[in-house]
Amino acid sequence: MQEKISDQESNRLNEFETGVLSGDITKLARAITLIESSKPEHRVMAQALLQRLLPHSGKAQRIGITGVPGVGKSTTIDQLGTNLTKMGHKIAVLAVDPTSSRSGGSILGDKTRMNRLAVDANAYIRPSPTSGTLGGVTRKTRETMALCEAAGFDIIIVETVGVGQSETAVADMVDFFLVLALPGAGDELQGIKKGILEIADMIAVNKADGDNATRAERAALDYKNALHILTPASPNWSPPVLTISGLKDLGLDNLWQAITDHKHALTTSGEYQARRQNQNVKWMHELLEQGLMDILNSRDNVRIELQTLEGEVRDGRVTPQLAVEKLLSLLNLS
């Protein structure tokens, strides 16, 4: 049951709602800080705000971009985003960083690397700290996307820190998943997990300029050959492999055209909307799992029993299934 909010909190919600819908960046930033808060009273307000803004979200194109450190993600996003704002788009960049909640360095770092977007009136850069968990990606980034969409941003770019587990989580919340690669793919191809290539909607070999141009073309061929033996994530789209240079602004027009073609192909087939709907259901399931864990950790008797059972499962004295049943019995859920 939804907890009631006070008149004072209701007034604050009205201010947040009006500010976000009007595109006020200061109000948007404060609203995102509200939804990132772990305080119970803030969570109640955050969910009330999201419920109000939900009808105004969902209209943006959501793009996930990943690649190994040093591949040039930020440089490419800065140039691509600048190109898109010149075309009349409003761009929000969310940097998913599992360490940002501890280091506190992401805001300055991202804005320094994207120096043009950082001062662009039609762009907004925001780190999306995960609090060290994939659940954090779900709770923070999805809700931040919804707020940015309600604020009028029509393209949301989610940047991940590298190739790892968080990429799968990000791919499950965007419309298009782009993997950036480096020239000389031989060694790097071994380092990129097969699962990442399987969920990629496109691979772009970056830094394809100057002496790297030939090596980039060879790398692109390697990736094309790798994709040939994998089953595409969508029956309506075969992931292309392009060569680009984010630094020199080469090939980014072709990259954007491919993203546009992808949206058209999936929209025509009905897959685009179906994917969005499935993502919302998955979001609900992930939040449900996190909510149940929050309940477990909030009750002293359950938390103590959980610690005991973890030891017994580790030692092989209790099966994981029996341990779960015991915990659920304490919650009257079994």
Q: Which of these, 121, 187, 151, lies nearest to 57 by C-alpha position?
A: 151
Phi-psi region of 289 (alpha: psi -120 to 50; beta: other; left: phi over 0): alpha
What integer pLDDT is reported at residue 165 of this predicted model? 63
Question: Across the strands, what pairs with 158?
Answer: 64, 94
Quickly list H helices, 270-319: 271-298, 300-314
* CATH 1.10.287 location in the chain: 279-330
What integer pLDDT is reported at residue 285 of this predicted model? 87
Residues in contact with 203: Cβ distance below 8 Å, sequence separation at least 6, in sequence order: 178, 179, 180, 181, 197, 220, 223, 227, 239, 240, 241, 242
- Decide if 23 contacts 15 (C-beta within 8 A): no
Three-state secondary-structure class, residue 270:
coil
Buried b (16+ CB within 10 A) or exposed e, 253-286: eebbebbeebbeebeeeebbeebeeebeeebeeb
Q: Which helix (H) or strand (E) holds 236?
A: none
What integer pLDDT is reported at residue 39 of this predicted model? 83
Which has more confidence, 41 or 119? Answer: 119
Check if CATH label 3.40.50.300 holds for domain 57-269. yes
- Decide if 206 contacts 246 (C-beta within 8 A): yes
What integer pLDDT is reported at residue 112 of this predicted model? 57
- Tens-digit pLDDT profile for residues 1-42: 455 677 788 899 999 999 999 999 999 999 999 998 878 778
- Tens-digit pLDDT profile for residues 254-266: 999 999 999 999 9
pLDDT of 270 strictly over 70:
yes
What integer pLDDT is reported at residue 334 of this predicted model? 45
* CATH 1.20.5.170 location in the chain: 1-56
Which has more confidence, 316 or 169? Answer: 316
Using only C-alpha atoms, what is the Rg of the chain?
Answer: 22
pLDDT of 310 strictly over 90:
yes
Place of tokens 């090596």: 215
The topology under which CATH files domain 279-330 is Helix Hairpins (1.10.287)
pLDDT of 275 strictly over 90:
yes
* CATH 3.40.50.300 location in the chain: 57-269
Mean pLDDT (the chain) is: 86
Q: What is the band of 333 on the pLDDT scale with cuts at 50, 70, 90?
A: low
Q: Which CATH class is domain 1-56?
A: mainly alpha
Which pairs from 112-118 meet CB under 8 Å and 24+ separation? 113/74, 113/75, 113/78, 114/74, 114/77, 114/78, 114/81, 115/78, 116/78, 116/79, 116/81, 116/82, 117/77, 117/78, 117/81, 117/82, 117/85, 117/91, 117/93
Angle between helices 142-150 and 7-21 (to 10 degrees): 70
pLDDT of 278 strictly over 60:
yes
Q: What distance in Å separates the CA atoms of residue 167 and residue 141, rounded to the nearest whole number? A: 13
pLDDT of 114 strictly over 50:
yes
Which has more confidence, 9 or 212? Answer: 212
| Mean pLDDT value of segment 290-304 | 83
